[in-house]
Every structure is written in C-alpha cells, then in structure tokens.
Structure 1
C-alpha cells in the first residue's frame, strides 16, 4: 500500500471528518479531490516519477495535500525543517537534487522569496490563496505506476555529527510502521488526534497523519504549540489522542486539574527522553496511559512503544517493546549480543527500516550492516524484554577511564523537586580528559545551588558521575520536537 492509499481504504467514511484546521473541516469524501488536484498540479509543472519535491511550510492541511499529492505523482517528497538557515536549505536542495519547492506564505515572513530564487530550482510554488484556487481546478491527474518498495521520502537527519543525511524511506517502510501500530492499539474512526508537533518531523507525520488517516480517525491540526490554545483544545474539542514531547506533559501536569480531561484517553511521548517521574505523575493524576516510545528517522520512525492499553504494563524509564514489524538486539563493539541487563548498542531489523542514505554509500554501510540498523544509542534490556535507552554513544563522557552516561545523571537530577530540566555534557579537563557539567533549569519560585544538588546525588550516583560544574539557566536550547540541542550547550 502506498502512503496516499492509506486514507483511500476509508472511502466508506465519506462524511467523517479527516482533517480539522482553524474551523475548516475536510471529510474523507473530500480528501481524494485535494490530493489528486495537488498531484495533477505538480504534473502540470513537469514533475514526474522520481523527481524531488521539497515542502517548506508549517502545520496546515496543505502540508498533507502537498506531501500525499507529490507521492501520488511518483515524486520523492522532502519535508524541510523550518528552523533551517538558507545555507542549510541550499545544502538540502543541492544534495537531494530537487528542482521543485512548495512554500507556504508564512515562511516568506522570515525568508525573502528572492533567496529561494537563487537555488536553481525549476519550480517555486508559493501557496497563496490564488495558487490554492488554481491547484483545485486541476482534475486531470494521470495515473503513475508506483511499487510499494519505491522511495517516496528523504528525511534529513539533524546532522549532529556533520552535514544532514537524507534517510531514504519507501512506501512499504511507512506502511509497516503504521500497520504495526494498528496491531497493538485499539484506536479507530472514533478517535481524534491533536497535532501540534511540526509535521516536517517524522514522529508527527507518521503518527498524527499517516497512522490517523489509516485508522479513519480525525486529525485536528494546529500550526504550532501554543500552551494556552493547546490546553483549551485538549479540554474542549473531544481530543482522544495526543502526541507530545516530555516538556509538554510536564506542563500539563502543572496546569490541568484532576478530572478535567473528559475525552483524552491516550498520550504518546516521543522526540526526547521522558523522565520517569513525569510519566508516573501524569498517569497518577489523570488515570490514563502516557506511553513512551522510541524511534529515529531511519525507522520511519517508530521502532518501539510501551503497551498502549490501560491495564498493560508500562515501565517508567523504558522505551517499551519492539513493534511487531521490528526485531531488536543489544550488541557489544564486536557485534555480539550481550546478556540481559548489560549495556551495548541498540540495533534494529525490520520492514520499516530505511534503504539507505541518499548519495552516501559509506555512511549507509556504517549503519546498515548485515541487515541490521546500528542506531548509535546505548541501551539495555530487562528480563521481561523491555528496552531502556542509556545514552547516545557519541554523548558518552569518558572521565579518567570511566564511562559516564549523561542521561543517567540527568534522570537523577530530575528527581530533585526544584529541578525542572537538566542537561549534562562533558567538558574538557586536562587531567581527566573530560569533566561532567550540568545545565539546570529550576522550577518557578524554587531555589537550589551546586552544593545542594551534589549532596542530593551523593546516594544516587557513583562519586565520579556527580557533576563538578553547574550552570543555572532560564531555558535549554531545543529542537522543534523538544530534544535538547547539546551541541549548542557544548
């Protein structure tokens, strides 16, 4: 099944709302017309099978129409991170060999259209009201033969270790991920997903859009996360499923009273590690699941989830169990599987795993070895088969010959009542090689100092793991999905 066919299987729900956005509704009966018109319009511009189409737009229905329309025309769709600079955009355009870009007018408030004009693109489509009307006049879509194993998307990774890499994903990769999530859930047409995370991010696109449309659910789209608006929507618009990042759930614990959520029945956390105390606090207060999962762009992106059912076991601090489409192992540096409870690198195998990085055979060979995706994440597995991320291999601090995993230190710090957020990095030390440094965001109205936090950690961590350097800050730099940008801290 191709990604643009996910919603087509719900043709019997023609009067059921597929997308809600700022008072506008698009039904499952309406959706094919929008997708076909966008596909036909791109064809009229000369876009053909195998061409690359970049999308630069905030959350909106047109993002969905453009993405699915581009895929239906046989093109490879490339969603662009809205935080990219023009230099980064130029890199993606050149590396992907794209010749078409679809731009929302909102983007042009921050980037002059003339800058896009210098990118040697064949087509620059600005989705003005007039252009949107013109697009919907196209009803002459010409069917394209597309195989499920053909690449439909390049997802450019964050590039924390160099230039972004374009993970090449097929229709089958997305289908495997979505079908696997359906197998472990009881969600369906009666559900309403609230989408506030950016759609250019794979977590939001796969779960909030592809999964929801596959189920026949409603997707309520917000152009971004605004705390007050998000809160009012969750309380008043019959939202049943909400995907967020850990900081959003910590916010909801503080701002929502017990019993206020009337319809919400499932929350899914991704994008960054979920602190165990946030999960416990959320579930104890609201009495429905807050489920932590794990994924990466190379896996389309969801690879693991804690069980979704109210009565099923979710383990705080765990990323859960592999999806039915995945196998997982923890291996040592020699690729040997390690015993239960020991740490090693998490590797994955399954039908949702990318085919490789665009134009980067050497990088592809590094991560795809013997059919397994090497994630670069340090993890462990318990006796029940639940997995736990310990840290990123590249974030590990080596202090006088000892390994320190920042996430372990961060989670210990987060147990202090005055600490809202913590980020730990290694900084150079001429005697030990590296020293442990913690950046701390305190709860409003609360105080703590270096000595107090060090004493607090005394019974929780080995002495060498306790940060020697503390910096108290008002906020931590984050990506649009809430992941702390440690390269900026460094």
Structure 2
C-alpha cells in the first residue's frame, strides 16, 4: 500500500503521464477483441480532444455522452477530460423528459451518442434548448432527420482530427456532472472535480487495490461511477489491463473470466446474488479470479468466497462523497460497508446532529480533509447544496450504524430514493410518468424488499372515479416512457393514499402494507422488462 499523490496531482492527465513514463507499451484496454496500449489509448483520446476542439469545445464546457460500453466510450470520456471539458454521462436507458432534462440542465451544446439512440434525441428535439451538435457513433444516417435542427457528424470524423496539444488538467477543474436521482425533484447534476474523481477511483491507500499484474473486468456500464471510475479509471491509475465487456451476463460471467484471465473485478450486490443463485458446478472454484469488491455484500458472502475460491472486499460511496469506506477480506464482517477511508471523517448522528452510540441507527455525515475530495455542489441548485453540505459535513441521507471495532453497516435510505440493479431511482420521477396515464388520479412509488439485495419498485395507484386500469396496458404505457429499470414490478390499487395533516404522503405506511393485498406482480404475470423492452 502506498499513499495517494498530493491533491495537485490527482488528475486524469497526471495518471496518464505516470503510465506513459513507466509502461507505455503495456496493454491498457481490451474490448471487442481489440487491445490498446497505454500509449495508443492516450494518442487516440487526444485525437478525440482535438476533434472536439475543432467543433468549438472549450475548457470547462459540458459535453454529453450516451454510449454503450466499448473502446470508443473509453476514449471519448478520456478525450473529453484530457481536453479540459466536462463530461456529462447519460444513462443509456434514458428517454423522454429524463433525457431532455439532463441535456438542458447541463447546458450542453455537444452530445455524442450511439446511432441506436439518435431516435430518442429526435423524439425530444423540440424540447432541447442548448444542443447544437450531435456526434453519432456508428451509422450516421440514423440521425438524418435531425440535420435540419442540429449539426450532425460521425465520431469517425472527430477521431480523424490532429491530436490536441498536451496540457495538464487543473486539479480544481470540474471533470464531470454526474446526474443522480433526487427524491423530491428531477435528477441533480453532481459537480465533481478532478481531485474527487481521482480519489474515488484510486485504491492506493486501500487494503487491496489492483496491482499492475492484475487483469480487471468491467461489466458495469461506463456511464456509471462503478464502471467508469471504480473500473476503468482505477485500472489506469494502477496501470493494469482493463477488459471492458458490453454488460453483465450471469450465464457468461465465468467463461469471460476464464477466457480473459481476469483476476480482479467489481460486483454490485444484485450481480453477486444472481451468480450465487446459479446451480453449483464442479469447476466453480477453477477460475483465475482472485479478488472481487462487492457493493453491498452478498447475503452469504463467506459461502460465495468459498464456492468460487476468491477473496472479497467491500466499500461504500456515492457521487456526492466518493468512496469513503473500504473493507478488506482479512477483517470483513458479514453485512458491513467497510471502515472509514483515510482522508475522511465519518459520523453517524441523530436528528439533532449528536453522535449516536455503536449499534444505534443514525444518518451518516462525511467530512473530507480537502473540500475537493467531495462534490463541489449540485449544478444550479445552491439551496439544495447548502442543505447537503453544512460546515464542511456532507449529509448523505443514508442510515448507518457502527460496531465497537469501527465497522460501518448500511441500514436503509433515509430518503425516498430507491435503488434497483445498481441504479438510483427517484420516486418522484416515476410517479410523474405514472400520473400521465389518463385513468390515474395519483400515485406513490416506494421500495419493497428484493431477493437480490436491493429494491423492487411498488406503485400504489389511485384510479380516477368511475375508471378502471388494466395493469398490462399501464405497464406498456410506462415501458415506452421511462428507463426499463424504473418500471415498477408491483402495482397496488387503493381508494386513497395515507397522508399527514399537512397532506404529505406517508410512504412508510405504503412500504409496510401487506405485500399481497390487492397487489399485481408483473413478473408473476409473466412480464419481464429488459433494456430492449417488454418480454412476455
């Protein structure tokens, strides 16, 4: 274990400089059958930076990207960053007002998208207030109908530009707006500095970070912090080979691990649960994987480790604070989220802000040694920022408890956000779309326990007087208007919603209600929602 570099050196350009000096010809990235060295990846990223500069991109200008996992996605986000701009990764499931909100709020004039997502941009084109240039990866003709409104060019044209002249990133510059779902409004853009991103991504001060000899597997989406930073950026910092897969597949996971000689990876808790539920095989432990970080830990983490012959670590973080906890295999406790990471003070407090005792539940507060190690704030939301960062302490809104040995245990969310398949979901946003259905009077969305460690979504719906709702027709309506992971699994119909005297919906009563009372389960009805749409 070594110390993190000084604050001034925690930048993407510094990480590349280090790799280019020590191992330029080592394989940095593998994707789609292609392998790129550190030197080749850097040169390609700088060409993208040059091409974007020719399109008018300036330092600290936002550039949106809506890309699937690929080598191009890796080079695009590093090119944006090395050029001094601010990346705005967009969840590739976004559509409708979810998509237009991010593009408008970030005030981005340039967006880089897969050809398969051009149609989504077309559907919201009239709502977009700042977008001027659309860069298409793949078949540029997919955006032909957008040419009258935007300048449309192919990513190949951007890549063909001369490389931008190398210049160091400023550590206090913004590297990204990461949009995270709120609970009482639209998604918020978390303003993240180079220092914040580097500190989040590095495990130089941790108990078990990947070494240069490791081969790291990334199956999480690169628009997500866990894919882009805990996966790809961490691999650059630690100078190992990063193998980028299109996504996670339980049926293919171990064959991918074996074929690519993977030794290190990150698993969301739901992914681990799915792997754990697969039928045991005689060769389960016959694989090259040595270490996996798991967030949160699987329900039978010790059994998982023994079955597959690996060591496991854990941690806790969020866009606003970075990674503030780590847990190592040597001292891992079932269910823990880790111990405090160097550079962060952690407190678990009661509603009055007083520290609670071990085993008592309270809200987690975080204070970094340097303010740049956490978010600058929420973009265009000064009041929300002031509510969240108070006297240097970031109020996470998450409930935790500790033990006498300094282990932290995540208990629940103190807000109404949900988390499903690794995605943060705003109940407000889901309710907004449900309420657009003509027969819906009002709705409330809550989390209910899932057998995959995170949340399933239940929508409690009040039908307009004299109307009726076909659950299947409502699901079809929602599938066309929201990301697949936001579509509720459960629909519960009620005559009214429980409210406080001030008319606030008492969601805790809806969570605690009998799950079998007047509840329709779309999965029990044989309806599965995937990225591609409904599958019956």
Identify whether the pair has TM-score above 0.5, normalized to the shorter chain: yes
1:347 paired to 2:365: yes
Which of 293, 306, 309 pairs up with 1:268?
Answer: 293
Contact 1:356 1:364 (C-alpha < 8 Å) held by counterparts:
yes
The aligned counterpart of 2:406 is: 385
Contact 1:176 1:325 (C-alpha < 8 Å) held by counterparts:
no
User: Equivalent residue of 2:351, what SS?
Assistant: coil
- Pairing of 1:438-453 with structure 2 (within 5 A): none
The aligned counterpart of 1:280 is: 302
The aligned counterpart of 1:291 is: 313
Post-superposition shift, 1:111?
Answer: 2.4
Contact 1:149 1:171 (C-alpha < 8 Å) held by counterparts:
yes
- Pairing of 1:196-215 with structure 2 (within 5 A): 196-215=219-238
**How far, CA to CA, are the matches of 1:239 and 1:472 in structure 2?**
42
Cα 1:325–1:106 change in 2 (3 A) is farther
- Pairing of 1:117-132 with structure 2 (within 5 A): 119=128, 120-128=130-138, 131-132=154-155
User: Equivalent residue of 1:390, what SS?
Assistant: strand
Output the aligned Cα RMSD.
3.2
Contact 1:194 1:241 (C-alpha < 8 Å) held by counterparts:
yes
Contact 1:435 1:468 (C-alpha < 8 Å) held by counterparts:
no
Which of 343, 348, 355 pairs up with 1:337?
Answer: 355
Cα 1:146–1:215 change in 2 (3 A) is closer
1:165 paired to 2:188: yes
**How far, CA to CA, are the matches of 1:229 and 1:381 in structure 2?**
37
The aligned counterpart of 1:49 is: 59
- Pairing of 1:53-92 with structure 2 (within 5 A): 53-92=63-102
**How far, CA to CA, are the matches of 2:62 and 2:237 in structure 1?**
25
**How far, CA to CA, are the matches of 1:78 and 1:480 in structure 2?**
24
Deviations 1:121-157 (A, max 9, x none): 2221112379444333322413456420111110010
Contact 2:32 2:70 (C-alpha < 8 Å) held by counterparts:
no
**How far, CA to CA, are the matches of 2:262 and 2:206 in structure 1?**
22
**How far, CA to CA, are the matches of 2:162 and 2:205 in structure 1?**
33
The aligned counterpart of 1:9 is: 18
Post-superposition shift, 1:185?
Answer: 1.9
The aligned counterpart of 1:399 is: none
- Pairing of 1:71-150 with structure 2 (within 5 A): 71-108=81-118, 111=120, 113=122, 115-116=124-125, 119=128, 120-128=130-138, 131-144=154-167, 146-150=169-173
Contact 1:7 1:216 (C-alpha < 8 Å) held by counterparts:
no
Post-superposition shift, 1:345?
Answer: 0.3
**How far, CA to CA, are the matches of 2:365 and 2:375 in structure 1?**
13
The number of residues matched between the two structures is: 430
Post-superposition shift, 1:205?
Answer: 1.2
Post-superposition shift, 1:42?
Answer: 0.7
**How far, CA to CA, are the matches of 2:314 and 2:520 in structure 1?**
28
Q: State TM-score, norm by structure 1.
A: 0.79
1:184 paired to 2:207: yes
Post-superposition shift, 1:45?
Answer: 0.6
Q: State TM-score, norm by structure 2.
A: 0.73
Structure 2 unaligned spans of 5+: 1-8, 141-153, 418-445, 461-496, 532-536
Contact 1:198 1:480 (C-alpha < 8 Å) held by counterparts:
no
Post-superposition shift, 1:377?
Answer: 0.5
The aligned counterpart of 2:37 is: 27
